[in-house]
Structure 1
Amino acid sequence: MRFNAVAAGVAEELLLSCCRSRRWAERVAAHRPYPTLDALLAAADEAGYDLAAADLDEALAAECSAAPHPDAPPAAHTALRAAHAAYESRFGHAFVISLDGVRPAERLDQVLAGIRSRLGNEPEEERVIAADELRRLARSRLTAGIAAS
């Protein structure tokens, strides 16, 4: 796996593109070499579970609210902007959700349903859910990043 051979700074930059917690990226990069992609993903998951509150805040602050597909009707853009604004107002960070396995045509509905269902969560409950979704996103991004390198 090429990831094992790159310089630490290069590995950390790739990792930061997956999850914007500097501590997470440094920890995952420091434990190289990984014998397999599965071992790397397991280490990324473990590091994600160990994020301190400040590290999670750092990662969540760097996430962006996803825009709907450009071909979506104007009403979809409006609905999504309003839902994201309500979520961000309530919880103080962007809504994060992993859409692995969701067909592109269903993603907008999945995001809107996710926001609506999670708006009723208590802030601490939502932090736990957001952290789990962030781990899933990091896993997906890391898999794609390794495949591309």
Structure 2
Amino acid sequence: MTNHPHASVDAAGALTALAAAPAAELEPTLLEVCSSPTWAAAVAGSRPWSDREALLAANAAAMADLTVADLQDAMAGHARIGKPKSGDATSEREQAGIQGVDQTLLDELHEANAAYEAKFGHVFLICATGRTAATMLAALRERFPNDAATEAEIVRGELRKINDIRLNRLLDEPAS
């Protein structure tokens, strides 16, 4: 991701500020990216990051080391696909593909989610950014036959993608 499409001079400043933040300030910021305390500690512990790629590599390394329990912590911070958290801009932005969708498709998505949750014991997790409701439903149905171990590894990869997007946004958007 060397040529990140939204990279700017301000992103370098944001990265420097993030890397220099006291632990008490950095932890809540990282937990907004990923709700796993283990992930947040691992990423924070990899500071300083020389550039965006180093921060994204820290995300990948931290994700690779998460236990099943840590993955559960990470998934706990995500809304059910098809039901973004009301008032949560991140959740609504990431699930924009369900806006204005036919109720029949939403009902199918909710039904498939319920079956997935009953089988795996957690929400169906997918990097929803840029996906339509129909493609998310198709992915859910495609992944449903997986065994728990296979699904855990897919979830790990999807979480890494989501974290990459959120970390890039953190660097690219001015602080409010």
TM-score (norm 1): 0.88
Higher relative CO (Cα under 8 Å, sequence separation at least 6) belongs to 1
- CA offsets, 1:55-89, max 9 Å, x none? 11211233221226331111122111111111111
Number of residue-to-residue matches in the alignment: 145
- For the pair 1:31 / 2:46, whether they are aligned, the reply is yes
Unaligned runs of 5+ in 1: none
Aligned to 1:17, what secondary structure does the other structure show?
helix
How far apart, in 2, do the equivalents of 1:7 and 1:81 lie? 41
Which residue type is aligned with residue 78 of structure 1?
Answer: D
* 1:58 matched to 2:73: yes
The amino acid that maps onto 1:140 is I
1:83 corresponds to which of 105, 112, 119: 112
TM-score by length of 2: 0.76
The alignment partner of 2:132 has SS state of helix
* 1:116 alignment partner, SS class: helix
RMSD: 1.6
Aligned to 1:113: 138
Give percent identity, aligned residues only. 34
Q: What is the aligned counterpart of 1:49 among 51, 64, 78? A: 64
Whether contact under 8 Å (1:11, 1:29) holds in the other structure is yes
Structure 1 stretches (4+) deviating beyond 4 angstroms?
A: none
* Aligned residue type for 2:111: A
Report the counterpart of residue 99 of structure 2 in structure 1: 70
